[in-house]
Structure 1
Amino acid sequence: MVKLMNIYENTVEVKKEEKVKGYVHSTESFGAVDGPGIRYVAFLQGCRMRCMYCHNPDTWNIGVGTEMTSEEILDDAERYRAFWGPQGGITLSGGESLVQIDFTLDIFKKAKERNISTCLDTAGNPFTWKEPFFSKFEELMRYTDISLVDIKEIDPIKHKKLTGVDNKNIFEMIQYMGENHDDMWIRHVLVPGKTDFDEDLEKLSDYIAQIPNDVVKKVEILPYHTLGVRKYHEMKIPYKLEGIEPPTAERVKNAEKILKTSNYNLYKNWRPKII
């Protein structure tokens, strides 16, 4: 008797690819100060730094927030594509976007598949040479058009007092990005009595000057503000900068002069890279 072949023999079960999910604090459809052009901004949940002047303490906790897939974020972002122009796109901010590096990488890979410009807003604290993080970071940079890098304070002792963490690995990240010609904007929040010391600003200026000059597209001073104080009171978290007022216009101009911000204007003609 002839044995009939089972048509299901030798078949391989194809599992549906699981979608990467992450935790999102909130989104903004029309961000004008979160990278080049007009950008859709997703504020990812989670940060290990505790910057004294942070205005989003509600983004600190890790593993909470609105669970979303990359597709859900990008589908929502594309509704505003008509406003982006040649420079705009999507920015991942926080919190700290690198805390959820798998989610960030998945979003950026799929964004580039849709020809969407990508901008990474980071303070660099999660950076490490250790695996598996570093390989993921290397890959992330291939899909990142530009990064907004927040340098909190160049002096390591003051940095730890200000943020609760060391800054050695942060500058290692910046060095790696510079050596690999990864475009960046550098930002520094000016806080009277905390990050507004001429000697430290001079050191920061010298540090930025040694980064390859085609990498740093813009340097900007962000004046400290008190808009987030209400959140601390509502969350019953002590606010460590009570009584400190925003910097005067003169101090902001002084910092801009020391950092030579007017010399860094390549952002005006900047365009996303094509993968």
Structure 2
Amino acid sequence: MLGRVHSIETMGLMDGPGIRFVVFFQGCKLRCGYCQNPDTWNIKEGKEVSAEELLEKALRFESYFKKSGGGITCSGGEPLMQPEFLIKFLKICKEKGLHTIIDTAGFGKGKYEEILKYTDLVILDIKHIDSKGYRELTGGNIDEFWNFAKVLKESGSNLWIRHVVVPGITDSQEHIQKLQHIINNFENVEKVELLPYHTLGVQKYEVMNIPYRLHGINPMCKERIKRLEKILLSV
């Protein structure tokens, strides 16, 4: 079985605990206004690779995983867009005793129960808190996110939650309070991060001749993020 991969990071430090082998899966249904990697959208692009090839590459760094408490992170794009390949890869990673993470927006093609069976930690990117805002920001239907969230809750998986804060879109006090209510519905939440919107990926849009929908919005103030974090923790 072959999957499509955009790229690999062999010594990742920002994609879960410890040093991680990060696989960026090709393909994503969402078109988030702030997406840093529009080159991952088209699932027909990327490099074809087998799960066994990926594992072989990852095992070269096994000693680093063990020393640091790291492992494998499946990111994207959206790893849930290639469910059969993802399951195969996660399964053989677990057979080797490797710690596994999926970094996801929860917007894929199903088989979520089986995927989570081989996943030690989920990093869940909550894009927006209601259907209108979700549609405007991502172009997607929030119902698909809730389909994944339901299975995730039932799985009892350990969970990190991330949310990108965009000025004028997801930075109001009311928005953050509603986000907290959503987070409270999950169990096993180990960590919550508010990530400041930035414009570091804009150049890719210019190169690919894709309109950047958040043009004119300034990067998020880090001091504002700290104030919103206090609101998030106080609800």
TM range (shorter): over 0.9
Report how many aligned residue pairs link the two structures: 234
TM superposition shift of 1:180: 2.4
Partner SS for 2:85: helix
1:1-275 correspondence runs (5 A): 20-84=1-65, 85=67, 87-126=69-108, 133=110, 136-212=111-187, 215-260=188-233
TM superposition shift of 1:88: 0.8
Instruction: Give the counterpart letter for 2:118 in structure 1.
Output: Y
Deviations 1:85-124 (A, max 9, x none): 3531010111000000111100000001111111001101
TM superposition shift of 1:166: 1.6
Instruction: Give the counterpart letter for 1:93 in structure 2.
Output: S
Partner SS for 2:82: helix
Percent identity for Structure 1 against Structure 2: 48
Instruction: Give the counterpart letter for 1:36 in structure 2.
Output: P
Q: Give TM-score scaled by structure 2 length.
A: 0.95
Q: Decide whether the 8 Å contact of 1:22 with 1:68 is kept in 2.
A: yes
Q: 1:221 and 1:193 mapped to 2: Cα distance?
A: 15
Instruction: Give the counterpart letter for 1:202 in structure 2.
Output: Q
Deviations 1:31-87 (A, max 9, x none): 111112111101010001000000000000012211000111111111122222353
TM superposition shift of 1:171: 2.4
Q: 1:206 and 1:260 mapped to 2: Cα distance?
A: 11
Q: 1:257 and 1:44 mapped to 2: Cα distance?
A: 34
Q: 1:197 and 1:166 mapped to 2: Cα distance?
A: 22
Q: Give TM-score scaled by structure 1 length.
A: 0.81
Q: Decide whether the 8 Å contact of 1:25 with 1:44 is kept in 2.
A: yes
Q: Decide whether the 8 Å contact of 1:124 with 1:170 is kept in 2.
A: yes
TM superposition shift of 1:148: 0.6
Unaligned runs of 5+ residues in structure 2 are none
Q: Which moved more, 1:238-247 or 1:174-183?
A: 174-183
Q: Cα gap change, 1:259/1:175 in structure 2, threshold over 3 Å: closer, same or farther?
A: farther
TM superposition shift of 1:218: 0.7
Q: 2:120 and 2:154 mapped to 1: Cα distance?
A: 16
Unaligned runs of 5+ residues in structure 1 are 1-19, 128-132, 264-275
Residue of structure 2 in register with 1:5 after alignment: none
Q: 1:231 and 1:206 mapped to 2: Cα distance?
A: 35
Q: 1:217 and 1:175 mapped to 2: Cα distance?
A: 18
Q: Decide whether the 8 Å contact of 2:160 with 2:189 is kept in 1.
A: yes
Partner SS for 2:22: strand
